[in-house]
Amino acid sequence: MKNDEDTVKLAVKEALLGLGERAVLPEYDSALLLSARHKGSEQDGWTEFAENFSAVSGKPMQEVTDLVEFLKEGGFGKGYCDPELKQAVGEVLVEAGLQVSYEFDHQRVDDYVFGITKASGVIAESGTVILNDEDTVDRLAALAPWVHVAVLTDQKKVFANIPQAIENLGGSSNVIWVTGPSKTADIEGILIEGVHGPGVQICLRIGEGK
């Protein structure tokens, strides 16, 4: 028997079946989207991303050992890891004494203090991590835990600017651009992090070409 969530998803999927081809993105002058800070930047893509990601309270990392140290020092001892990242990341965490699950149980969502999923790319000029449903095994695993770790394994997905990222959106039905941890300043203009999603946003770069 399907639960309410499955029923809603099925209804949405059936409703979309009758739609035609996705509309083509409108034409625009891409030069208008480049920030003044980015124009003429001589930094390599990852260095610029890491600088801008840090400026919005994100935490860029390039070593799994740095992630282990951060999680242990913060008391973030239990979480989820995308099974495709088991060998590169998950097993290192387990060896360090952390509890890692490779299956995200929606009935136990509060048990996961951290969630480790794939990043679909990053944008250097804005310090933004790109997530999409094609690369994310479970969307909730990226949005529900207090600590989210987006793992960038494809170094070709370091986009210099927003126009480049738009050109490479792909065909995923859901794309999220994450610029640091979730934030809101709705109440008296006071900035609060971690209200609508993760309070700690990490981007871990691994793989060839670092």
Count other C-beta atoms under 10 Å from residue 38's C-beta.
Answer: 18
For the chain, which domains are there?
43-205 (3.40.50.10420)
> Per-residue pLDDT tens for 167-206?
898 888 889 999 988 877 777 777 777 677 899 999 999 9
Non-local (6+) Cβ contacts of 38 within 8 A are: 48, 124, 125, 160, 161
For range 142-153, the mean pLDDT: 96
pTM over 0.85: no
Residues 6+ apart with CB under 8 A from 131: 117, 119, 120, 142, 150, 175, 176, 177, 178
Residue where the block lists tokens 């001589």: 42
Q: What is the mean pLDDT of residues 107-129?
A: 95
Please say if the pLDDT value at position 32 is more than 90: no
Strand partners, 115: 80, 148
Rounded Cα distance, 148 and 204, in Å: 10
- Compute the mean pLDDT over every residue in the chain, rounded to the nearest whole number: 87
Q: State how far the Cα of 152 lies from the Cα of 140, in Å rounded to an integer.
A: 18
H or E stretch at 69? helix 64-74
Say how many CA atoms lie within 13 Å of 169 toward its Cβ.
14
